[in-house]
Chain A
Amino acid sequence: MKRFIGFIKKEFYHIFRDRRSLFILFGMPIAQIMLFGFAITNEINNVDIAILDHSKDATTEAIINKISASTYFSINEVITKESDIETIFKKGKIKAVLNFEKDFSKNLIKEHNATLQIITDATDPNTANTISNYINAILQQYQKELNKDVKLAYQIIPQTRMVYNRELKSVYMFVPGVMTIILMLVSAMMTSISITREKELGTMEILLVSPLKPFQVIVGKVFPYIFLSIINAVVIVMLSIFIFKMPVQGSLFLLALESILFIVSALALGILISTISATQQTAMMISLMGLMLPVILLSGFIFPISSMPLPLQIISNIIPAKWFVIIIKGIMLKGVGLQFIWKETLILVGMTVFFIALSVKKYKIRLE
């Protein structure tokens, strides 16, 4: 036990004396969460739009007021003829134009329908899509108010409701993803680098020719990173609660347990990487290419798994991050308990056991 403590003490010296890795360890989670939280968002805010109103009556005015009253849009320009549309789009500032037909109000009352054209700048298709959805939502709301006291034939109005993230705040969606990336990166990359560093500097030779047992070396290497990863997870959750006001619906205790499980599985992957790479450089490349990319692309954190081609959907199953993303989204956003995520948890436990067994088996007690 004394040997083990001595080993861990040494590991902490390494971590705290290496400024660069320390910066990665603690700077990255904060930077990433801020980036995803503030800069990279799917939401729209104060989008500049222009109005081309051919009828200029009470109804169009009411609609325009409703749109400009929302925080999503600000009406930047009012144009008078069709040919102006292209000119203002070319300037690049305006993202959408609302084109009201002639006699909008009259048509609505007489014919029971009136046409409003929404023209969006689709150079950024995602934003364009979001803008048209938002405008549609506003229009539908207005229609509902309008029809309140008018008796009409049965009319089906589709009603979309966003659940769990009613405000469509993208930061809520990113937090679980960022947490997954950070834990994966810190745990797997840092451990694989720290083990291969011993190989590269030749100190592994001395460690092997010592009474330290393989599992003491592995656990000794891994333990400090479990500790640091937990701190990281806590920092991320705190940031999301206090800065982004993200409500954590489920039990924090369950969240902590699941996070530790994921950390251990990532650490086991890190050890596995270190057994197959001889230099720190290789370990880093394998961690980045072999872990980071799949985590970002295939975990369902940015791109929904259900919309991937079938082969990728199948591959995504072997990525631990996918299951962890499901688990923490469940706990953080839906507030579910273990009874709803036991299947994912079990898969993660199975993967972890498999990785640990494989890496202990692959750990070499000699040089070749």
Chain B
Amino acid sequence: MSINISNISKSYKKVKALQNISFKVETGELFGLIGPDGAGKTTLFRILTTLLIANKGTAKVAGFDVVSDYKNIRNSVGYMPGKFSLYQDLTIEENLEFFATIFGTTVEENYDLIKDIYMQIEPFKTRRAGKLSGGMKQKLALCCALIHKPKVLFLDEPTTGVDPVSRKEFWEMLKRLQQKNITILVSTPYMDEAALCDRIALIQNGKILEIDTPEAIVKHNPNQIYNVSADNMYKLINSLKTYKHNHSVYPFGEFVHYTDRRTDFNPKALKVYLESQNLSNIHINKTVATIEDTFMELAK
């Protein structure tokens, strides 16, 4: 068992950031914490990395208690905060060397662990970290968090503000690291990234909505989802929201995802209604539920 959280609660003055959180992460697992901004992801990360003390509950990381054994945890985990937290006035090389030194190791010693990632930014190794692009910054931050070969890796929103190509690459790297038996706890507000984790926890307002594999979570969604499109998106959403049988309506890319309350729902009836609302070019098709749909359903 790599991470074991039981009944963790944390409040800031009046705000309840976390309420009774419990879950376990197995060794070598890629575990995703999925939730919108302000859900409590960062607070949970900070408790697990010994930066904050919970008001209630206990947690163990790599077998050590986060409060009494905090020194051991600081020796054996890698942490990449949500905000870019490297020295902007130091070059790529200097940052990496600094983090290797303070963890009592050298870049050469664990080079094989970061090789795949570092090779991509190595051509710029004399460039200062502050002058790197978003994707390169994240790669460097990951290298720095990995350089001491941590047992558990905490990545707080590592892909926020990173372009889609770099995001994809980043997740491929995480998959490779997982094979080296490093436990990874990663948080993200992007639902599409959730599918890449072994297991995910959906979190909102400091509460866990559900924990399971991404496939199982999607299967739990009882509703049939329809992609609805028309030429006036704004009007379409408003019309659907005033439709008396609707169960949920929310925009999803170029479509509106719609679920109906009735068990014998007939799309044709909806089309007739929408046409009566002066909408044209209407398409209604069945679609498979995604994690985002499930999240929206659970978060209702």
Would you call A201 and B103 a contact (CB within 8 A)? no
- Say yes or no for A90: interface residue by CB 8 A criterion: no
Chain B: interface size category: 20 to 34
Would you call A205 and B79 a contact (CB within 8 A)? yes
Q: In the complex, A13→B94 CA distance in Å? A: 9
Would you call A210 and B52 a contact (CB within 8 A)? no
- Say yes or no for A343: interface residue by CB 8 A criterion: no
- Say yes or no for B104: interface residue by CB 8 A criterion: yes
Q: In the complex, A365→B74 CA distance in Å? A: 11
Q: In the complex, A210→B85 CA distance in Å? A: 13
Binds A, one of B27-35, B43-51, B189-197, B218-226: B43-51
Q: In the complex, A1→B95 CA distance in Å? A: 19
Tell me the B48-105 residues at the A interface (CB within 8 Å): 49-53, 70-71, 74-75, 77, 79, 81, 83-90, 94, 97-99, 101-104
- Say yes or no for A281: interface residue by CB 8 A criterion: no
A197-240 toward B: CB 8 Å interface, digit per residue (1/0)? 00001110111111110000000000000000000000000000
Would you call B51 and A208 a contact (CB within 8 A)? yes
Would you call B51 and A205 a contact (CB within 8 A)? yes
Query: What chain B residues lie within 8 Å of A202 (beta carbons)?
Result: 81, 83-85
User: Residues of A within 8 Å of B, CB-based: how many?
Assistant: 26
Would you call B52 and A367 a contact (CB within 8 A)? yes
Would you call B77 and A6 a contact (CB within 8 A)? no
| Distance of A217 from chain B, by nearest CB (Å) | 10
Would you call A205 and B74 a contact (CB within 8 A)? no
Q: In the complex, A206→B155 CA distance in Å? A: 12
- Say yes or no for A91: interface residue by CB 8 A criterion: no
Would you call A6 and B74 a contact (CB within 8 A)? no
Would you call A18 and B89 a contact (CB within 8 A)? yes
Would you call A209 and B89 a contact (CB within 8 A)? no
| Distance of A212 from chain B, by nearest CB (Å) | 5
- Say yes or no for A2: interface residue by CB 8 A criterion: yes
Q: In the complex, A193→B52 CA distance in Å? A: 24
Known interface pairs A2-B101, A13-B89, A14-B87; A206-B79 also in contact (CB < 8 Å) = yes
Residue with the highest number of chain A CB atoms closer than 10 Å, among B53, B70, B74, B97:
B74
| Distance of A82 from chain B, by nearest CB (Å) | 70
Would you call A211 and B102 a contact (CB within 8 A)? yes
By beta carbon, the residue of chain B nearest A217 is B102
| Distance of A133 from chain B, by nearest CB (Å) | 55
Q: In the complex, A19→B99 CA distance in Å? A: 24
Q: In the complex, A6→B98 CA distance in Å? A: 6
- Say yes or no for A10: interface residue by CB 8 A criterion: yes
By beta carbon, the residue of chain A nearest B91 is A13
Would you call B104 and A3 a contact (CB within 8 A)? yes
Residue with the highest number of chain A CB atoms closer than 10 Å, among B49, B70, B102:
B102
| Distance of A55 from chain B, by nearest CB (Å) | 76
- Say yes or no for A366: interface residue by CB 8 A criterion: yes
| Distance of A251 from chain B, by nearest CB (Å) | 40
By beta carbon, the residue of chain B nearest A18 is B89
Would you call B104 and A10 a contact (CB within 8 A)? no
Query: What chain A residues lie within 8 Å of B85 (beta carbons)?
Result: 201-203, 205-206
Residue from A13, A14, A210, A368 within 8 A of B102 (CB atoms): A210
Residue from A7, A17, A205, A367 within 8 A of B89 (CB atoms): A17
Q: In the complex, A368→B104 CA distance in Å? A: 27
Known interface pairs A2-B104, A203-B87, A211-B102; A366-B94 also in contact (CB < 8 Å) = no
Would you call A368 and B52 a contact (CB within 8 A)? yes
B97-125 toward A: CB 8 Å interface, digit per residue (1/0)? 11101111000000000000000000000
Tell me the B138-156 residues at the A interface (CB within 8 Å): 144
Query: What chain A residues lie within 8 Å of B102 (beta carbons)?
Result: 3, 6-7, 207, 210-212
Known interface pairs A6-B101, A6-B102, A366-B52; A209-B90 also in contact (CB < 8 Å) = no
Query: What chain B residues lie within 8 Å of A6 (beta carbons)?
Result: 97-98, 101-102
Q: In the complex, A5→B102 CA distance in Å? A: 9
Would you call A367 and B46 a contact (CB within 8 A)? yes
| Distance of A197 from chain B, by nearest CB (Å) | 10
Would you call A13 and B90 a contact (CB within 8 A)? yes
A165-185 toward B: CB 8 Å interface, digit per residue (1/0)? 000000000000000000000
Q: In the complex, A206→B49 CA distance in Å? A: 10
Q: In the complex, A10→B101 CA distance in Å? A: 11
Shortest Cβ-Cβ A-B pairs, 6 listed: A6-B101, A202-B85, A202-B83, A367-B51, A209-B79, A17-B89
- Given contacts A211-B102, A211-B104, 18 further A-B pairs with CB under 8 A are A2-B101, A6-B98, A9-B98, A10-B90, A17-B89, A202-B81, A205-B51, A206-B79, A206-B81, A206-B86, A208-B51, A209-B49, A209-B79, A210-B102, A212-B102, A366-B52, A366-B53, A368-B52
26 inter-chain pairs at a CB distance below 8 angstroms, sorted by A residue, are A3-B102, A5-B101, A6-B97, A6-B98, A7-B98, A10-B98, A13-B89, A14-B87, A17-B89, A18-B89, A201-B85, A202-B81, A205-B51, A205-B81, A206-B81, A206-B144, A208-B74, A209-B50, A209-B74, A209-B79, A210-B102, A210-B103, A211-B74, A211-B103, A366-B51, A367-B51
